[in-house]
């Protein structure tokens, strides 16, 4: 086979590049959403300071230590984005769109080469460029792909898909190459792509089976019984190897790890019964992708039996029928069979028995790759058939295909507006999934809390409590956020009440235990708070928040040495934590070991030279030990850190801060501040420091 002419390759790439960037041009400043925070903006491991080989390697390795972090390549790309743009979403969106362009381009090349395979009719060879490009265009502009492209963290899915389709392309090139060395080179690239896909997301585990599908449907003699048995045997062996490796790497050899349903409100059997209905929903969204049908959330009733809801059994029968149809058309329509089998094969991980949430649209990004392959073949056949027989139908087909491309492109552009902000995303979800609690809860938490509208947030939280939860943990999370709402309004009694309710729902929830301890501390119930913290630290000895709060409680109880021990444990977990350095310094200062205290305060000051809190502790230290010259120097630096009025506002806040007000603003320190500000805002200062 002669390779694709370079001009056609460049034309295809340019068309896909221009079209995709155009329809995603309104997403460059779309905000962070949902899992973006925990995986990107709040992940300290991403914040690399240089691009040395050692830094990049250590960063990648750090992502591989836990099964849930076993996507080191995708996360490493987030780290690189962070290095160049920190938390500005612009660069992340650019990379996501580029990944989408490349995936579409390699889909184009893969389809083109599959059309030259031995089992494909010769009539397709002449039109393979058109079929391949149309397949790639229809897949890439489909509005359902917006969740995998615009939702930044789903780069894990799109990057996995890019390496997956690249591997398939290299395999087809290896199978059609005539020079042995070139054949080996392409196959080696195929293996590397497979490993890169696995390092992006676990879904790439289905890649070997996809190769078997291609081999069986496009290159082998399917009429040979011996060949069929050989391929079936290879498929079984491949499945056993992949399952064994998956259990070993991700579930520590425990098969029951696949069935982790502790946080789900449905059983494995109910999930299996429900997924056929969801698969048909996906297919309807792919072929009828109106923006009004797409959403981050869906109201899906769980199937509790074959007849409840009644659509369960028909959905199962339809899927069995589709798979049976694919088997029946293997010889006559291998392209159609391949599209069907590829779709269901790549839904086996996220749409089977593994205890994941029921439905997310980005799960179709990989499975839908070849769904438009037979569609493009059918369109090409219609055009060829009616080119001479009926000019009007020929033109109608062209107009219809053009209309679909334009309509889907506009649909993608319109759908992307929902991703603009957290408010637009969750308001859109409330409209389309009004029975689900998550949109109401997330709108309250991610928008109204951040815009300081606690009353509106509380209305939405209460609404969320009455609706269907996405997991058994969700009610506990809602109650915890309601408690936080009260906490920041200084209503500590109600905050403690709701955190207790949250903890009652999930007694071993570490976050709720910590926050309840925090609320009890604010109420002055130190013994009760300590009891919860002791239980929490016993279960999670490396919980820095719990260790830190326990240390602060001990300082408030004037048990300075015991508090210091907890702060030292925090430093062992994160040696240069600025807040912990301040707490260690505070403990030494309260023990009147001012020299040691100064050492820790000044180390913290190196990290942030104008840190007002550190400067205030240094002023206190210098005043307590009688070094008035040093105290004046630090006061001058404090004043110069902002406007004098700004310092006064900040001092007013510190004077009411439960954490430091009973130790930091001593009479001697108050006198020094009064002397320094004696001609400026005297009445306000008197009110603050007296």
Residues facing residue 660 across a β-bridge:
none
3-state secondary structure at position 305: strand
CA distance linking residue 78 with residue 88, whole number of Å: 12
**Taking the domains of the chain in order of start, what are their residue ranges?**
6-32+87-222+261-391, 614-690
Cis peptide bond upstream of 309, omega within 30: yes
Query: What's the CA dihedral at 576, 580, 584, 587 to 10 degrees?
Result: 170
- 8 A C-beta contact, residue 586 and residue 555: yes
Question: Confidence class of residue 504 from pLDDT cuts 50, 70 and 90?
Answer: confident
Q: What are the residues facing 266 on neighbouring strands?
A: none
Q: Inter-axis angle of helices 372-389 and 391-417, to 10 degrees?
A: 150
**DSSP one-letter code for 139:** H
pLDDT-derived band at 683, boundaries 50, 70, 90 = very low
Residue 315 has what pLDDT? 95
State how far the Cα of 56 lies from the Cα of 624, in Å rounded to an integer: 47
pLDDT exceeds 60 at position 221: yes
Look-up: residue for tokens 């009064």? Answer: 674
Q: Which two tokens stand for residue 673?
A: 């501040």
pLDDT of residue 311 exceeding 70, the answer is yes
pLDDT in tens, 393-415: 989 999 999 999 999 999 999 99
Question: Which has the minimum average pLDDT: 50-54, 421-425, 575-579, 648-652?
Answer: 648-652
Residue 392 has pLDDT above 50, yes or no: yes
* Cα–Cα distance, 37 to 294 (Å, whole number): 23
Q: How many CB atoms lie within 10 A of CB 640?
A: 12
The DSSP code sequence of 99-123 is HHHHHHHHHHHHHHHHTTSTTS-GG
Give the pLDDT of residue 373.
96
How far apart are the C-alpha atoms of 346 and 204, rounded to whole Å? 9
Q: Per-residue pLDDT averaged across 215-240, rounded? A: 72
What is the Cα–Cα distance from 235 to 219, expressed in whole angstroms?
16
CA distance 374 to 368: 12
Q: How many other C-beta atoms lie within 10 A of the C-beta of residue 516?
A: 27
């Amino acid at each position: 086979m002669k390779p694709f002419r370079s001009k056609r390759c460049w034309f295809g790439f340019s068309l896909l590049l221009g079209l995709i960037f155009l329809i995603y041009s309104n997403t460059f400043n779309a905000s962070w959403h949902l899992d973006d925070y925990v995986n990107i903006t709040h992940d300290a491991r991403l914040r690399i300071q240089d691009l040395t080989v050692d830094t990049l390697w250590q960063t990648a390795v750090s992502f591989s230590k836990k099964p849930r972090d076993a996507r080191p390549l995708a996360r490493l790309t987030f780290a690189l984005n962070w290095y160049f743009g920190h938390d500005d979403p612009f660069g992340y969106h650019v990379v996501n769109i580029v990944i989408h362009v490349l995936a579409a381009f390699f889909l184009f090349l893969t389809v083109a080469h599959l059309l030259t395979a031995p089992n494909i009719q010769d009539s397709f060879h002449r039109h393979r460029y058109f079929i391949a490009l149309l397949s790639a265009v229809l897949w890439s502009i489909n509005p359902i792909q917006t969740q995998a492209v615009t939702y930044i963290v789903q780069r894990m899915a799109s990057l996995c898909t890019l390496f997956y389709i690249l591997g398939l392309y290299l395999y087809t090139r290896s199978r059609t190459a005539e020079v042995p060395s070139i054949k080996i080179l392409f196959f080696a690239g195929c293996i590397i792509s497979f490993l890169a896909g696995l390092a992006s997301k676990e879904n790439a585990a289905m890649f070997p089976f996809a190769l078997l599908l291609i081999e069986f449907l496009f290159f082998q003699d399917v009429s040979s019984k011996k060949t069929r048995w050989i391929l079936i045997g290879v498929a079984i062996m491949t499945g056993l190897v992949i399952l064994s490796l998956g259990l070993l790497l991700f579930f520590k050899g425990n098969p029951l790890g696949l069935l982790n349903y502790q946080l789900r409100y449905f059983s494995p059997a109910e999930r299996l019964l429900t997924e056929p209905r969801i698969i048909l929903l996906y297919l309807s969204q792919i072929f009828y992708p109106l923006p009004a049908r797409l959403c981050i959330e869906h109201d899906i009733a769980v199937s509790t039996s074959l007849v409840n809801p009644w659509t369960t059994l028909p959905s199962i029968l339809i899927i069995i029928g589709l798979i049976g149809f694919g088997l029946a058309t293997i010889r006559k329509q291998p392209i159609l069979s391949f599209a069907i089998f590829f779709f269901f094969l790549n839904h086996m991980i996220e749409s089977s028995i593994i205890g994941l949430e029921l439905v997310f649209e980005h799960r179709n990004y990989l499975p839908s790759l070849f769904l438009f392959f037979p569609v493009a073949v059918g369109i090409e056949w219609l055009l060829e058939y009616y080119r001479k027989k009926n000019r009007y139908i020929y033109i109608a087909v062209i107009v219809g295909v053009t209309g679909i491309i334009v309509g889907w492109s506009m649909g993608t552009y319109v759908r992307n507006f929902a991703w603009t902000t957290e408010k637009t995303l969750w308001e859109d979800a409330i409209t389309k999934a009004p029975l689900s609690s998550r949109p109401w809860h997330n709108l309250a938490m991610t928008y109204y809390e951040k815009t300081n509208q606690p009353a509106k947030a509380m209305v939405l939280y209460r609404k969320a409590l009455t609706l269907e939860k996405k997991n058994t943990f969700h009610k506990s999370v809602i109650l915890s956020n309601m408690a936080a709402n009260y906490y920041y309004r200084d209503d500590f009694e109600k905050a403690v009440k709701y955190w207790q309710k949250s903890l009652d729902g999930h007694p071993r929830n570490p976050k709720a235990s910590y926050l309840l301890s925090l609320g009890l501390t604010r109420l002055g119930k130190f013994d009760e708070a300590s009891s919860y913290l002791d239980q929490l630290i016993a279960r999670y000895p490396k919980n820095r928040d719990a260790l830190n709060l326990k240390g602060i409680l001990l300082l408030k109880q004037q048990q300075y040495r015991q508090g210091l021990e907890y702060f030292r444990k925090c430093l062992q977990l994160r040696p240069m934590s600025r807040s912990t350095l301040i707490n260690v310094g505070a403990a030494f200062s309260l023990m009147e070991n001012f020299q040691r205290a100064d050492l820790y305060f000044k180390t913290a000051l190196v990290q942030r030279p104008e840190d007002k809190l550190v400067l205030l502790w240094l002023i206190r230290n210098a005043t307590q030990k009688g070094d008035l010259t040093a105290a004046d120097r630090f006061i001058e630096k404090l004043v110069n850190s902002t406007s004098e009025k700004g310092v006064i506002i900040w001092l007013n806040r510190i004077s009411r801060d439960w954490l430091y007000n009973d130790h930091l603003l001593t009479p001697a320190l108050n006198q020094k501040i009064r002397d320094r500000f004696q001609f400026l805002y005297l009445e306000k200062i008197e009110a603050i420091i007296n």
